[in-house]
Amino acid sequence: MRIKCPLCGERDLREFTYRGAALPRPAPDAPDEAWDAYLHLRDNPAGPTRDLWHHRAGCSAWLVVRRDTATHEIFGVELATRSRAVRA
Partner 1 sequence: MRVDGRGLVDRTRPVRFSFDGRFYEGYQGDTLASALLANGVRLFGRSFKYHRPRGVFTAGSEEPNALVTVGRGAEQTPNIRATVQEIFAGLEARSQNRWPSLKYDLLAANDVLSPFLSAGFYYKTFMWPRSFWEKLYEPLIRRAAGLGALSGAPDRGVYDTAWANCDVLVVGAGPAGLSAALTAARSGLDVLLVDENPAPGGRLTGEDELIDGAPATDWVADVAAQLAGLKNVRVMCRTTVTGVFDHGTFSALQRSATHVPDPGDAPLEVFWRIVAKACVLCTGALERPIAFPGNDRPGVMLAGAVRRYLHQYGVAAGTRVAVFTNSDDGRKTADDLRAAGVDVVALVETRAGVKPGPDHPTFVGSTVTATRGRLGLREIRVEGAGGSQWIKADCLAVSGGWNPTLHLASHTGARPVWNAAIASFVPSPGALLGFEVAGAAAGVFSTKGAIKSGRYRAKLILEGLGAKVPRQGSVEADDTPPSAVAFWQVPAKGRAWIDLQNDVTVKDVELAARENYASAEHMKRYTTLGMAPDQGKSSNVLAMAVLAAQTGRSIAQTGTTTFRPPYSPVAIGAMGANGKGRRFAAERLTPSHQAALDRGAPMVEVGLWLRPSYFPRTGETTWRQSCDREVAMVRKAVGVSDVSTLGKIEVHGKNAAQFLDFVYTNKMSSLKVGRARYGLMLREDGFVMDDGTCARIGRDRYVLTTTTAAAGAVMAHLEFVQQVLRPDWDLRLLSATDHWAQLAVTGPAALETVNHLLDQPISREELPFMGHRQAQIGGVDGRIFRISFSGELGFELAVPARFGDSLFRLAVAHAETLGGGAYGMEALNVLRLEKGFLTHAEINGRVTADDLGLGRMLSPDKDFVGKRMATRPGLVAARREQLVGLRPVGAVKALSAGARLFEPGAGICHENMQGAVTSAAFSPTLGHFIGLALLEGGRNRMGETIRVLERLRGLDTLCEVVSPVFFDPDGGRMRG
Partner 2 sequence: MRYSGFKVLVQGLTGNRGWAPVWRTPDPRPAYDIVIIGGGGHGLSTAFYLAKTHGLRNIAVLEKGYLGGGNIGRNTTIVRADYSLPGNSEFYSHSLKLWEGLERELNFNVMHSQRGVIRLFHSDGQRDHYVFAGNAIANRGDGAELLDQDGLRRLVPYLDYDNARFPILGGLLHRRGGTARHDAVAWGYARGADGLGVDLVQNCEVTGIDIRNGAVTGVQTGRGPIRARKVAIVVAGRSSQVAAMAGLRLPIESHVLQAFVTEGLKPVVNHVISFGMGHFYISQSDKGGLVFGGDLDFYASYAQRGNLARQEQVMEAAMTLMPMIGKARVLRSWGGIMDMTPDGSPIIDKTPVDGLFLNAGWCYGGFKAVPASGEAFAHLIATGRPHPVARRFRLDRFRSGHLIDEEGAGSQHNLH
Point out which residues bind partner 1 (CB under 8 A): 1-2, 12, 17, 19, 25-26, 28, 35, 39, 52, 54, 56, 60-62, 71-72, 74, 79-82, 86
Which phi and psi angles does 82 have, rounded to 5°?
-110, 5
* Whole-angstrom distance, CA of residue 18 vs CA of residue 31: 27
Rounded (10°) CA dihedral 54, 56, 61, 64: -20
Question: By CB under 8 A, is residue 76 in contact with partner 2?
Answer: no
The residue from 36, 48, 75, 81 that contacts partner 2 (CB under 8 A) is 36
User: Which of 28/44 has CB closer to partner 1?
Assistant: 28
